Structure 1
Amino acid sequence: MKTVLITGCSSGYGLETARHFHAQGWRVIATMRNPRDGLLPVSERIRLLQLDVTSEPSIAAAIEVAGPIDVLVNNAGIGVVGAFEATPMSHIRKVFEANTFGVMAMVQAVIPQMRARRAGTVVNVTSSVTLAPMPLAAAYTASKQAIEGFTGSLAHELDVFGIRVKLVEPGYAPTTRFAANTDIPVADLIPEPYADFAGPIFAEFARPAQTTRENDVAETIWLAANDTSSRLRYPAGPDAVALARAG
């Protein structure tokens, strides 16, 4: 029985991905900052663990308890929407700690066991903003673009040890809790000079032409995790696929 460890399973893509892997017969280590009952089926193949990807002691404890990991899915992250000018640097650093350095720390923690077995897969979840950067998300886009470059380089570095490294690029899903983990209201990040510019953009967010469903992402993560080819990028959702083709 294979084991997958997934970060950020309290909602959205992470939660749906945990359900999907469980349905396929895998042992699932579902992690989140604040575990709570009722999110996932009661099963001997599911274990909820507390994990904060911005804390190295928390990461080390979770990896030790999880045991051998066949697939690591780095899904945890936070969003931020607003004019870059109005976004405090302290907040930008918080975004990078979760979206960039947290991913790197998780990968660094799991490499030794995968290298020793000469097997394993790392799936890093980024965003379709890496395919077509959108306005009012400069810090978020930068944090995800960093992981794109990191993952591409790492794929070459770990291939010699039989470890595969993949990128999943989800599109826009209105049902996800984007920016829910931040402590600054969006309104505070849109100063008056940006109001006329931001209005139509937020209206488009509310009525997107195409959207991504959570199961689109879960199924794509599953595909990436089980693909033994050298393919690196996997857009997830119709809007992400369209952007990838256009690019």
Structure 2
Amino acid sequence: MNTVLITGCSSGYGLATARHFHEQGWRVIATMRRPQESLLPQSDRIRLLPLDVTRRESIEVALQEAGPIDVLVNNAGIGVVGAFEATPMSHIRKVFDTNTFGTMAMTHAVIPQMRERRSGIIVNVTSSVTLAPMPLTAAYTASKQAIEGFTGALAHELAHFGIGVKLVEPGYAPTTRFAANTDIPVADLIPAAYADFAQPIFAGFANPALTTTEADVAAAVWCAANDRSDRLRYPAGADAVALAGAA
């Protein structure tokens, strides 16, 4: 039975992806900071583990308890929307600690076991903003663009050992709580000088022409995890697919 470890399973893409792999008969290690609040039922094929991707000791304990992993899905992330000049540098560092360095830390920790077995897949979840950067998402976009470059380079580096490295690029999903997992309200990051500029952007968020669902992302992660080709990118959702085609 194959085993997948997924970070950020408390809600959204991570939760949907954990359910999808479980439905396909996989053993799922669903990780999150507070597993006691999880919507996933613990069973013989779903194990809930606490994991903070910004803390090395937390990563080490989780991987030790998880055992051998066939697929790692780096999904944990923090969203931020606001004018860059109004976003405190401390908050930008927090975004990078989770989105960029957290993904790198998880990958760094799991490579040795995959290299020894000469098999495994690492799936990094980024965003369609890497395909078409959007205003008011500069810090978030930068954190995800870093993972795009990291993943592309690492894919070449680890192919020698039979390890696949993939990118899933979700589009805009209105049903997710993007930026809700931060401690700064969006309104505090839109100064008066940006109000007229931001208004039509937020109107577009409220009425998007194309969107992505959690199921779209779960399906794309599943495809990436089971694809042994050298394909790197998997856009997820109608809007992401359209952007990828225009890129």
Question: For this structure pair, what is the TM-score category when the shorter chain's length is used for normalisation?
Answer: over 0.9
Partner of 1:246: 246
Partner of 2:81: 81
Partner of 2:220: 220
The 3 A distance-change label for structure 1 pair 24 and 199 is same
Mapping 1:178-217, distance limit 5 Å: 178-217=178-217
Partner of 2:149: 149
The 3 A distance-change label for structure 1 pair 117 and 204 is same
Q: Secondary structure at the match of 2:36?
A: coil
Shift of 1:177: 1.1
Matched, 1:121 2:121: yes
Contact kept in structure 1, 2:42 and 2:48, CA below 8 Å: no
Q: Secondary structure at the match of 2:210?
A: coil
Distance 2:140 2:180 in 1: 13
Q: Secondary structure at the match of 1:36?
A: helix
Q: Secondary structure at the match of 1:135?
A: coil
Shift of 1:119: 0.3
Structure 2: stretches of 5+ with no match in the other structure:
none
Mapping 1:1-247, distance limit 5 Å: 1-36=1-36, 39-247=39-247
Q: Deviation digits for residues 213-234 of structure 1, max 9, x if unmatched?
A: 1000000000000001000000
Shift of 1:43: 2.2
Shift of 1:41: 3.6
The 3 A distance-change label for structure 1 pair 37 and 182 is closer
Q: Deviation digits for residues 173-199 of structure 1, max 9, x if unmatched?
A: 011111111111111100011000000
Shift of 1:37: 5.5
Distance 2:26 2:20 in 1: 9
CA RMSD of aligned residues (A): 0.7
Normalised by the size of structure 2, how large is the TM-score? 0.99
Question: How many residue pairs get matched?
Answer: 247
Q: Secondary structure at the match of 1:217?
A: helix
Contact kept in structure 1, 2:129 and 2:141, CA below 8 Å: yes
Distance 2:61 2:207 in 1: 42
Q: Secondary structure at the match of 1:211?
A: coil
Runs of 4+, deviation exceeding 4 Å: none
